[in-house]
Amino acid sequence: SVPPGVLPLCHQPPAWGRGARQPPSPLQPSGLLLAPCRTFSNNKILVELNESSGVAMMKFKSPPVNSLSLDFLTEFCISLEKLENDRACRGVILTSAVPKIFSSGLDITEMCGKSTEHYTEFWRAVQETWLRLYGSNMVTVAVVNGSSPAGGCLLALSCDYRIMVENPKFSIGLNEAQLGIVAPFWFKDTFVNVVGHRVAERSLQLGSLHPAPEAHKIGLVDELVPEEKLQEKAAAVMAQWLALPDHARQLTKSMMRKAVLDRLVAHREEDIQNFISFISKESIQKSLRMYMEMLKKKKS
């Protein structure tokens, strides 16, 4: 059922969409060709844009765990910017092409034993990714089809809606405290905006990774869906959100998110310095090394 105040599902591209403003191609005067799908792929992300629905799918394909390395984040920002500037695109679905993993979060090797210059570049890319995704004008839906700790959780939290696979083996959360590090204020702000202060505080202090049913219960994800229904559900959610006039939805989104976005923009350089001085501490480096060793031992 459609919540009050939301227009019913729209099966035709609405007249007010960004796509509708695109001039018809001379080769396709009707503009309604056979659901053309434009694909662009780089090393770590595959993007498929369905021009008739105006929805793009961004699939993370960086095995083994879609960790958010500098290269991954750079590709992510470039892909998102391309879609943002493409009038044929009104919505993006983020998902993973790697079985069982949405994203393992920030690539820990980028934060271990590197130079100050590297930490600066890396952290700027992390900030940029969040600023672009959280501030996107497009409708953003995360299809969390596997585990999604820390930075992976942040990507999902930055979307407008989260659908997770109904499997208690997969968990999601901001588990930074378990690594002996602290989630930055804008990770925390994004989390609070989704689940509220109390739930966020407990979860952050404990560094909790919530199995899918629990994540749903605390509102960290909006819906749980069996694996085989994920794409169908994502398309239905997209259609519901795209049934509204873009300008009204975009201004509303901006009204809800602006204060949190502005806070990072105003303190961006300070945030980079904080990251560098925190991550460069020998005690923090030691915690990260031990955590990586623990991951490797768990395997053997």
Instruction: State how far the Cα of 238 lies from the Cα of 140, in Å rounded to an integer.
Output: 8
Task: Read off φ and ψ for residue 154, nearest 5 degrees.
Answer: -60, -40
Residue 147 contacts ligand CO8 per CB under 6 A: yes
Residue 45 contacts ligand CO8 per CB under 6 A: no
The dihedral sign for the CA sequence 220, 223, 225, 230: negative
DSSP class of residue 184 equals -
Q: Which residue bears the tokens 């169908």?
A: 232
The token pair at 259 is 């204060």
Instruction: State how far the Cα of 105 lies from the Cα of 121, in Å rounded to an integer.
Output: 17
Examine residue 63 and say whether the peptide bond preceding it is cis (omega within 30 degrees of 0). Answer: no
Site residue total, ligand CO8 (CB under 6 A): 27
Which is nearer to ligand CO8, 53 or 66 (by Cβ)?
A: 66
Query: What does the DSSP assignment read for 72-100?
Result: HHHHHHHHHHHHHT-TT--EEEEEESSTE
Q: Which of 51, 75, 110, 176 is catalytic?
A: 176
Task: Read off φ and ψ for residue 160, nearest 5 degrees.
Answer: -80, -25
- What is the total residue count of the chain? 300
Site mask for ligand CO8 (CB under 6 A), range 72-111, x = bound: -----------------------------x--xxxxxx--
Q: Which stretch binds ligand CO8 (CB under 6 A): 5-13, 131-139, 175-183, 227-235?
A: 175-183
Closest CA to 63 of 96, 94, 40: 96
Q: Which helix (H) or strand (E) holds 182?
A: none
Q: Which stretch binds ligand CO8 (CB under 6 A): 1-9, 91-99, 160-168, 172-180?
A: 172-180
- Among residues 49, 55, 56, 65, the one that binds ligand CO8 under rule CB under 6 A: 65
Query: Least distance to ligand CO8 from the beta carbon of 139, Å?
Result: 25
Does 31 participate in catalysis according to the annotation? no
How do beta strands 55-60 and 91-96 pair?
A: parallel
Q: How many CB atoms lie within 10 A of CB 27?
A: 6
Which is nearer to ligand CO8, 73 or 89 (by Cβ)?
A: 73
Which is nearer to ligand CO8, 3 or 64 (by Cβ)?
A: 64
Which is nearer to ligand CO8, 106 or 225 (by Cβ)?
A: 106
Q: Which of 83, 94, 106, 220 is catalytic?
A: 106
Residue 295 contacts ligand CO8 per CB under 6 A: yes
Does 176 participate in catalysis according to the annotation? yes
Residue 207 contacts ligand CO8 per CB under 6 A: no
Instruction: State how far the Cα of 148 lies from the Cα of 142, in Å rounded to an integer.
Output: 11
- Helical H runs in the chain? 70-84, 116-134, 150-157, 185-195, 197-206, 212-217, 230-242, 246-266, 268-279, 282-299
Is the distance from CB of 72 to CB of 107 less than 8 angstroms? yes
Residue 278 contacts ligand CO8 per CB under 6 A: yes
Q: Which of 135, 151, 173, 207 is catalytic?
A: 151
Which is nearer to ligand CO8, 52 or 274 (by Cβ)?
A: 274
Residue 149 contacts ligand CO8 per CB under 6 A: yes
Which is nearer to ligand CO8, 51 or 271 (by Cβ)?
A: 271
Residue 67 contacts ligand CO8 per CB under 6 A: yes
Catalytic residue positions, numbered: 106, 151, 175-176
* Residues contributing to the site for ligand CO8 (CB under 6 A): 64-65, 67, 101, 104-109, 147, 149-151, 175-176, 179, 181-182, 184, 275, 278-279, 292, 295-296, 299
